[in-house]
Amino acid sequence: MQLRNRPYEPHKVVKPKQRKTAKQPQKLQHTSKKSSEFVSNVAVSLKQYQCIQLQQEIQEYLLNKLCQTKLTTWEDRDFLSISKTIETLLRNPAPQGESIILIGSAGSGKKILVEETLQRVQVDESIQNLKVIRLYGAVHALREGPMKETHVQLKNSLPNKEVEESTPEDDLLEPTSEDTLTTYLFLLYDFEYFIREKNQSFIYRIFESFQRNRIRGVVLATSQQHDIVDSLEKRIKSRFSHRIYYMPALNDIEKVLKILESLLCIDCDAPSSIETIKQAFNQQISKFVQDTEWNHILENFLGFTPNVSSFLSLVFYIITNLSLDEFGVPKFDLDIIRHGSCQLKQSVGRMQMLKNLSVLEVALLSSLCRLTCRSMDKNEKERASTKLVAFSFERIYQEYLKNEFNSDSATFTTDSYKRPIAWKAFSRKKQREAPPLEKTFFS
């Protein structure tokens, strides 16, 4: 019996092999795609982390740079001229004492400029003996406060000598009269508080000690009161009248833009971690500053508060809102910065206006408020209209005098604030357009 040969059917054998071989590349492709996506995600996350870390390092560097800013490096001739005058006085003071007064609104940079100049002088090895006595009017100007604080600071600066506490009859610097090489610097911040003392005796005693003991000394005063020289007695006025400097305002937008660029750029002293992107970073900052939108933001902001303190606050806000792209190029959201500048203007608002007022202007304003409250109470009792009443200067000044003489807590007299001086303060208050009170109260 012959067996039948089955026909050869290759499709039955080949097909399973083809299916197996067909599935294998799909699995490999699928796994390789997943792994490549994972690697790319890791790379992106690493880039983001590095970018965030770099951004934090740049912000830290720029904030440190902002805190160490020096007004004399701002290429402003007024700041530089005042600083050089102070430095010259400290290097070569007259044997009978020198004096200088800086006048400017709150936040105009008086203290920053003084301390910056003083730091530069103290570093110089040619000036060996410089004793600095810092007195703040709002803290030390009451009664015997200036004498006590001067005694404490002299005692700390001269540990090898016994310094007795001064009485009004004593010589202020008598224990140090033997040392003719030492220069004494009296820094009198908020000078308007010191001159409210009767006869301005403390200020006079400083100059008298310089003259009597032939001590090299300088009196450097700062004040917010623009007419403060008119409030000085004749014997004090002659000392300050030849050196009165007014702090400049930041009105020149082109200069301010250059200052902003210098504060936001990376300098040569930057750490090595951010040195690699220095060139690209600085080029982008220069492009941003040349943008007209920045010009508009600064004009609107400084038109309201053209002083150093407000400008530095705005720069601080800009730095904290700095971001970087994946290539380390800086990015700024102008809408956020514009919104931030508006918020800063609102926060400054009336507080900045009140800080810019002198002691006399605040006293006149409080007298005006008392008169207004009395008038409104009277209208309510009589059920009359609650319309605001305008008060003349004479009425406000009489209320001011009445409150000064009747106040038990007042430790000063009104000798310094006579009618002509009060009238100047009143007129300046109206012109300044400070609180919106002048539209309704001032006549």
Cβ neighbours of residue 270 under 8 Å, at least 6 residues apart? Answer: 61, 278
pTM of the shown model: 0.69
On the question of pLDDT at 204 being above 80, the answer is yes
CA 222 – CA 186 distance, rounded (Å): 11
The stretch 414-429 carries a mean pLDDT of 70
Contact 356, 366 (CB under 8 A): no
Q: Mean pLDDT in the chain?
A: 76
Contact 420, 338 (CB under 8 A): no
CATH code, 77-246: 3.40.50.300
On the question of pLDDT at 104 being above 70, the answer is yes
CA 387 – CA 24 distance, rounded (Å): 93
Token digits of residue 157: 């600066």
The tens digit of pLDDT for each residue in 321-346 reads 988 887 778 888 888 988 888 888 77
Highest mean pLDDT among 7-21, 34-48, 337-351, 374-388: 337-351
On the question of pLDDT at 438 being above 80, the answer is no
The tens digit of pLDDT for each residue in 255-302 reads 888 999 999 999 888 888 888 888 889 999 999 888 888 888 888 888
The tens digit of pLDDT for each residue in 131-163 reads 888 988 877 777 677 777 777 877 776 655 555
The stretch 308-316 carries a mean pLDDT of 90
Q: Which sequence spans correspond to the domains of the chain?
A: 77-246, 251-355, 359-439
The tens digit of pLDDT for each residue in 6-26 reads 555 555 444 454 454 444 555
CA 236 – CA 199 distance, rounded (Å): 10
- Tell how far CA 246 is from the center of its chain: 17
**Burial of 375 by CB count in 10 Å (0-12 exposed, 13-18 middle, 19+ buried)?**
middle
Q: How confident is the model at residue 315 (pLDDT cuts 50, 70, 90)?
A: very high
Q: How confident is the model at residue 434 (pLDDT cuts 50, 70, 90)?
A: very low
On the question of pLDDT at 307 being above 80, the answer is yes
Token digits of residue 346: 């609102």
Q: How confident is the model at residue 351 (pLDDT cuts 50, 70, 90)?
A: low
The stretch 91-117 carries a mean pLDDT of 86
User: Percentage of the chain with pLDDT > 90?
Assistant: 12
DSSP tag of 91: H
The tens digit of pLDDT for each residue in 163-179 reads 555 554 455 666 555 56
